[in-house]
């Protein structure tokens, strides 16, 4: 079996002026073959879709200030502006009800239900400092239509597949979107050491070389 290798790809700062598939083709296209999986950080995909807001653009409600107190300090919703950003897109009553219901669920041993009931963005929002400069001063939402984005990347660069992933330094790797035929759960396990450099490293893209053979071998 060909060697499985993960290659981080440096880029300039990508903005809403960029098309993510074209950017990947420009910076990584020469490295990609039909056996490879191209992975992209979900926050960067969202930024290219203009899906972010600066804290000073938000009008913080008393409800957001109250609800954020029940989120662990390390969470993106633990600040009033993070919570307000969620309420603005998912609805303040839905978020508040989900927080209360999630607390009750935790009492009977069911954790994480707030993020399930609070809307798609509850688990997707990155608060300030959550991504690369200058967007470390912004709250970044999750990307729109991530499966479609992954498919577009695959077709543009001629890869075996593509994945949009949410990965951090706490050994957390979550599939956000994948192209057709890709086992996202299997691929996400390969990203647990967070090969992305979303901050000053400017490597929001990585290529998993020879992933096709690896996936086929795991399924055999």
Proportion of the chain above pLDDT 90, given as a percent: 70
Q: What is the DSSP string of the chain?
A: -PPPEEEEE------TTS-HHHHHHHHHGGG--TT-EEEEEHHHHHHHTT-EE-GGGS---HHHHHHGGGS-TTSTTSSHHHHHHHHHHH-HHHHHHHHHHHHHHHHTT--SHHHHHS-GGGGT-B-TTSSSTTGGGSEE-PPSSHHHHHHHHHHHHT-SEEEEEEEETTTEEEEEEE-TT--HHHHHHTTTT---B-STT-B-EEEEETHHHHHHHHH-
For the segment 149-159, the average pLDDT, to the nearest whole number, is 97
* Higher per-residue confidence, 60 vs 220: 60
Domain ranges of the chain: 5-51+142-219, 52-139
Proportion of the chain above pLDDT 70, given as a percent: 92
* The pLDDT of residue 102: 92
- pTM of the predicted structure, to 2 decimals: 0.86
The answer on pLDDT for 201 being more than 60 is: no
Peptide bond into 134 cis (omega under 30): yes
* The pLDDT of residue 65: 95
* The pLDDT of residue 174: 85
Average pLDDT, the chain: 89
* The pLDDT of residue 129: 65
Kindly state which CATH superfamily the domain 5-51+142-219 is placed in. CofE-like (3.30.1330.100)
What are the pLDDT digits (tens) for 79-119?
A: 999 999 999 999 999 999 999 999 999 999 999 899 999 99
* The pLDDT of residue 140: 93
Q: What is the DSSP string of 132-178?
A: STTGGGSEE-PPSSHHHHHHHHHHHHT-SEEEEEEEETTTEEEEEEE
* The pLDDT of residue 127: 81
For the chain, the C-alpha Rg in angstroms (whole number) is 18
* The pLDDT of residue 76: 86
The answer on pLDDT for 202 being more than 80 is: no
**Residue written as tokens 């600040």?**
79
For the segment 45-61, the average pLDDT, to the nearest whole number, is 94
* Higher per-residue confidence, 131 vs 85: 85
What are the pLDDT digits (tens) for 158-188?
A: 999 999 998 876 667 789 999 999 999 999 8
């Amino acid at each position: 079996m060909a060697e499985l290798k993960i290659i981080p790809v440096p880029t300039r700062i990508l903005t809403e002026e960029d098309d993510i598939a074209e950017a990947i083709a420009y910076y990584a296209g020469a490295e990609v073959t039909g056996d490879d999986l191209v992975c992209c950080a979900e926050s960067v995909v969202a930024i290219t879709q203009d899906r972010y807001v600066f804290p000073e653009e938000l009008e913080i409600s008393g409800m957001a200030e109250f609800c954020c107190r029940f989120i662990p300090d390390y969470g993106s919703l633990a600040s009033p502006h993070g919570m307000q950003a969620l309420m603005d897109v998912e609805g303040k009553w839905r978020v508040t009800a989900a927080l209360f219901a999630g607390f009750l669920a935790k009492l009977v041993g069911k954790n994480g239900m707030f993020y399930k009931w609070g809307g798609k963005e509850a688990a997707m929002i990155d608060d300030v400092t959550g991504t690369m400069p200058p967007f470390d001063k912004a709250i970044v939402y999750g990307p729109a239509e991530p499966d479609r984005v992954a498919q577009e990347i695959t077709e543009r660069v001629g890869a075996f597949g593509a994945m949009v992933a949410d990965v951090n330094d706490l050994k957390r790797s979550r599939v956000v979107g994948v192209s057709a035929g890709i086992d996202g759960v299997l691929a996400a396990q390969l990203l647990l050491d967070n090969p992305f450099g979303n901050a000053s490293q400017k490597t929001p893209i990585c290529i998993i070389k020879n992933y096709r053979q690896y996936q086929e071998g795991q399924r055999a």
